[in-house]
Amino acid sequence: MRPVLIAVLSLYLCVLSASSPCAAAAASPKSLQIYFIDVEGGQATLVVSPSGESLLIDTGWPGYEGRDADRILAAAHQAGIKQLDYVLITHYHRDHVGGVPQLVDGIKVGTFVDHGPNLEDSQVTRTDYAAYEKAIGGHAHVVVKPGWGLPIKGIEVRVLAAAGDHITSPLPGAGEANSLCGSEPAAAVDNTENARSVGVLITYGHFRFLDLGDLTKKKEIEIACPNNLLGTVDLFLVTHHGADLSNSKALVWALHPRVAVIDNGPRKGSSPAAWQIVHDSPGLEDLWQVHYAAESDREHNIADERIANVKENCEGKYIKVAAETDGTFTVSNGRTGAQKTYKK
C-alpha cells in the first residue's frame, strides 16, 4: 500500500474516542519534551513524546543561509532524535511554512500535515504554498480536520481548528458558559491564512498544552463564546506571536493558563495590548518570551531571566519544557540554563 494512503488511513482512524489509538498511553517514566525554537518571530515548536516520536509544528522562515532549519536540527539533536515523524504546518505564511525546503534537505521527515490548499488571495502566499507543495513531493501528506488526531504513542494530539472550521462540541470537562463574552468587542472577518490555522491541544496525562497557530480573534471567540469549548490549559503558546490581532481576552482568560510562552522576534509580535491580556490572565504563574521585544517598552517585557534571547543579534536560544503525567512541568531558559518547575 502506498505510504500516503497508509498515512491517510492512520489519521482517519484517529478521530478521537475513548478507544482511539491516539489516546494517551499508560504513564511513562519519561517526560514530554517541547522546544520553542527561536526562528525570529515565526514558529517552530518541536514536540518529542515520551516514546521518542516527534512532531514539529511549523518551520520558520526561508533563506538566511538555512538559519531556521539549522536551529531546528540543533534542537532535534538536543532532543536525541534523528528524524521528524510529523511536520504540521499551521498555515501558509512565510514565517511558518517557509523553512520546509531547507528542512527536508537536512533531516528525514515522515508525514506532512496541514489544513489543505492555500485559502488566501495573496501572491506571496501562493508563491510560498507552491514552494511547500514542491518540497513535500514524495512524502506522506495528510489533510486534517477538527476532531482528528495524530497517532503519536504516549500523548494525545487533538486538532481543534483547521481551514477556518473548528470543533463544535466541548472537549471533555469543558463547555462552561463564558462570562467574558459579553464584554468582548466584535472582531472583524479575517480572510487571510491566519484564520485558517491548524490549532492543536497536546495532552500528556494531566498536562495540557495549547497551540492555535496564528488564529485571529473572530475564530478565537467562536471557540470561546458563548461557552468555552476548550476548558483550561497548563501551557499556552501565545497565539500569533503575541500580536493584538489575536489573543482575545474572552479566550485567553477562559483558558486560565498556568504558564504562557510568546514565540516573538525582537521586532515582531508581543504587542503591549496582547502582552497585558496574557500577563493579567487569572491564575497565570509566569510568562516567558523567546525574545526581548525591542519595539515594546520595559513594562511590557518580562524579566530577563525568563527571556531566551535578550539581544537583537542573538544566538537563537530556545525555551524548553519537560512535562510529567501528573501535570508538573519544568521550563528551562536555553540562554542561561536557569529553570523553574511548576507543580500541579
> What is the per-residue pLDDT across 284-334, written as a single tens digit (0 to 9) for each?
999 999 999 999 999 999 999 999 999 998 889 999 999 999 999 999 999
Q: Is the pLDDT of residue 28 over 70?
A: no
Range name among 62-66, 121-125, 311-315, 334-338 with the lowest pLDDT average: 311-315
For the chain, what is the mean pLDDT?
A: 93
CA–CA dist 228, 171 (Å, integer): 9
In a domain, 151, yes or no: yes
- Identify the helix (H) or strand (E) that includes residue 68: helix 67-79
Q: Is the pLDDT of residue 8 over 70?
A: no
Angstrom CA distances, 253 to 257, 279, 280, stand at: 8, 10, 8
In a domain, 218, yes or no: yes
Q: Is the pLDDT of residue 25 over 80?
A: no
**pLDDT for the residue 14:** 52
Q: Is the pLDDT of residue 23 over 60?
A: no
Domain CATH code at residue 175: 3.60.15.10
Domain span at residue 279? Answer: 30-342
Q: Is the pLDDT of residue 5 over 70?
A: no
**pLDDT for the residue 314:** 87
Furthest C-alpha separation in the chain: 57
CA–CA dist 271, 56 (Å, integer): 26
**pLDDT for the residue 226:** 98
CA–CA dist 53, 33 (Å, integer): 11
**pLDDT for the residue 154:** 93
In a domain, 19, yes or no: no
- Identify the helix (H) or strand (E) that includes residue 123: helix 123-135
CA–CA dist 67, 64 (Å, integer): 5
DSSP 238: -
CA–CA dist 171, 231 (Å, integer): 7
Tell me whether strands 259-262 and 339-342 are parallel, antiparallel or unpaired: unpaired
Residues 37-43 have a mean pLDDT of 97
Give this prediction's pTM: 0.92
Q: Is the pLDDT of residue 149 over 60?
A: yes
In a domain, 301, yes or no: yes
In a domain, 5, yes or no: no
In a domain, 2, yes or no: no
Q: How many residues are present in the chain? A: 344
308: CB partners within 8 A, 6+ apart: 36, 38, 288, 289, 290, 291, 317, 318, 319, 333, 334, 335
In a domain, 63, yes or no: yes
Total of domains in the chain: 1
CA–CA dist 214, 42 (Å, integer): 10
CA–CA dist 33, 79 (Å, integer): 8
Tell me whether strands 235-237 and 140-143 are parallel, antiparallel or unpaired: unpaired
In a domain, 15, yes or no: no
CA–CA dist 315, 310 (Å, integer): 10
Residue with cell 518571530: 41
Q: What percent of the chain has pLDDT over 70?
A: 92
Range name among 2-6, 145-149, 289-293 with the lowest pLDDT average: 2-6
CB of 109 closer than 8 Å to CB of 141: no
What are the backbone dihedrals phi and psi of residue 326, each rounded to the nearest 5 degrees, phi first? -80, 0
Range name among 5-9, 196-200, 293-297 with the lowest pLDDT average: 5-9
- Identify the helix (H) or strand (E) that includes residue 217: helix 217-224
Q: Is the pLDDT of residue 19 over 50?
A: no
Indicate the burial class of 18 (C-beta count within 10 angstroms; 0-12, 13-18, 19 or more).
exposed
**pLDDT for the residue 29:** 58
